[in-house]
């Protein structure tokens, strides 16, 4: 089997500072839902970072500068703990490095690409000391090639290229774009067959032959061992499929609703003729439905929840965009931070940035301590 492919669906490695809502490639229904009531937002023009505000009574954040000493911008993609992250550093001329960062401000480069590679880095995943990610490059106007890389976080050895047999990879901005499970790295790519098919690809962590499993329809990985379908549009159903047993769970929505689902929760964006009505949370079987927020709020991450419990929300306020957190266990919403941008979340860690230019600061919050 050839280790080359042409084309890739990519997420931009640098998110515009003025938007708090992540743009999720390949998820047209999510883009539709977020666009319904998204107001025009201006970036915070102050360089002073804004920490946790008084209405938040949980743990304090761990903070990290968003600009390296050489002027490169840093964007975390995965937190190993509140003080340790892995992400992408980009120089002003476009050179890219995969970085491990430790608060309050030490950075270690794991891998680098020159500006001529036009590199995009996505699909970070970790299992113990093993870190994997994907690098997409297009040199000199040639076709884009995507490679899977592996590094040992406890070793000083250089990263190893695992495979370039990645297919037309789906990078949707979910925490599960790439998954490490049972000694294999798994991701989804776009199949060429009709009707629309998805290829669930996997390879041993140590390298070897890439296995390909076709699925009918457009699917993304979600909480292992499940995959979730990409809805065709508002009101279309969502299907969860267990990749181990082939069990399927169908999630029903009605006109004006768009659902983002995992095996535990579905976050449902509800729209009417005038725009966004509210955001609900329910189990895939429709039970336990609750209103999370009204038209004043917008989800900030592609996943339905964090820790099967929290829904991060962007709320427009007189003093800028506020980051709020809905807790399904209590039914309460707390304002976590003001003037927040570039919100991300994986596992127990919620993170966001404040400030602009050289004053950008990243803030990480450990929700397992709440």
Per-residue pLDDT of the chain (370 residues; tens, 9 = 90+): 434 333 333 333 333 333 323 333 333 433 344 444 333 333 443 433 334 444 788 899 999 999 999 999 999 999 999 999 999 999 999 999 999 999 999 999 999 999 999 999 999 999 999 999 999 999 877 889 999 999 999 998 999 999 999 999 999 999 999 999 999 999 999 987 777 799 999 999 999 999 999 999 999 999 999 999 997 788 899 999 999 999 999 999 999 999 999 999 999 999 998 889 999 999 999 999 999 999 999 999 999 999 999 999 999 877 778 999 999 999 999 999 989 999 999 999 999 999 999 999 999 999 999 9
Per-residue tokens: 59? 């743990």
Indicate the burial class of 249 (C-beta count within 10 angstroms; 0-12, 13-18, 19 or more). middle
* Torsion sign across C-alpha atoms 367, 63, 223, 261: positive
Task: Give the SS3 label for residue 14.
Answer: coil
Total-model pTM? 0.84
Rounded-to-integer distance, Cα 288 and Cα 167, Å = 39
**What are phi and psi for residue 140, nearest 5 degrees?**
55, 35
Of 322, 361, 340, 364, residue with least CA distance to 48:
361
Asked if residues 105 and 158 have their Cβ atoms less than 8 Å apart, the reply is no
Of 230, 243, 253, residue with least CA distance to 302:
230
Rounded-to-integer distance, Cα 121 and Cα 124, Å = 8
Task: Give the SS3 label for residue 31.
Answer: helix
């Amino acid at each position: 089997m050839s280790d080359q492919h042409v084309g890739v669906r990519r997420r931009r490695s640098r998110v515009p500072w003025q938007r708090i809502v992540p743009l999720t490639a390949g998820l047209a229904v999510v883009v539709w839902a977020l666009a319904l009531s998204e107001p025009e937002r201006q970036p915070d023009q102050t360089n002073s970072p804004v920490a946790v505000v008084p209405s938040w009574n949980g743990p304090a954040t761990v903070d990290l500068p968003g600009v390296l000493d050489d002027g490169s911008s840093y964007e975390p993609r995965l937190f190993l703990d509140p003080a340790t992250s892995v992400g992408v550093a980009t120089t002003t001329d476009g050179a890219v490095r995969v970085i491990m960062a430790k608060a309050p401000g030490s950075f270690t480069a794991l891998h680098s690409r020159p500006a001529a590679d036009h590199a995009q880095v996505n699909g970070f995943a970790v299992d113990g000391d093993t870190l994997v990610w994907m690098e997409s490059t297009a040199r000199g106007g040639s076709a884009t090639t995507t490679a899977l890389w592996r590094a040992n976080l406890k070793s000083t050895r250089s990263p190893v290229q695992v495979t370039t047999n990645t297919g037309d990879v789906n990078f949707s901005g979910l925490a599960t774009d790439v998954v490490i499970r049972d000694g294999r790295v798994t991701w989804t790519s776009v199949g060429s067959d009709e009707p629309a098919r998805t290829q669930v690809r996997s390879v041993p962590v140590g390298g070897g032959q890439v296995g390909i499993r076709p699925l009918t329809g457009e699917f993304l990985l979600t909480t292992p061992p499940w995959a979730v379908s990409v809805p065709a549009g508002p009101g279309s159903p969502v299907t969860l499929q267990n990749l181990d047993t082939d069990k399927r769970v169908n999630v029903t929505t009605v006109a004006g609703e768009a659902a983002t689902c995992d095996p535990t929760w579905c976050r449902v964006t509800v729209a009417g003729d005038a725009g966004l009505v509210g955001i609900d949370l329910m189990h895939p079987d429709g039970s336990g439905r609750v209103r999370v927020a009204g038209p004043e709020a917008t989800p900030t991450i592609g996943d339905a929840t964090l820790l099967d419990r929290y829904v991060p929300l962007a709320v427009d306020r007189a003093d800028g965009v506020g980051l709020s957190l809905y807790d399904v266990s209590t039914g309460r919403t707390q304002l976590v931070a003001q003037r927040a941008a570039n919100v991300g979340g994986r596992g127990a860690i919620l993170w966001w940035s404040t400030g602009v230019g050289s004053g950008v600061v990243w803030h990480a919050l450990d929700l397992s301590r709440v």
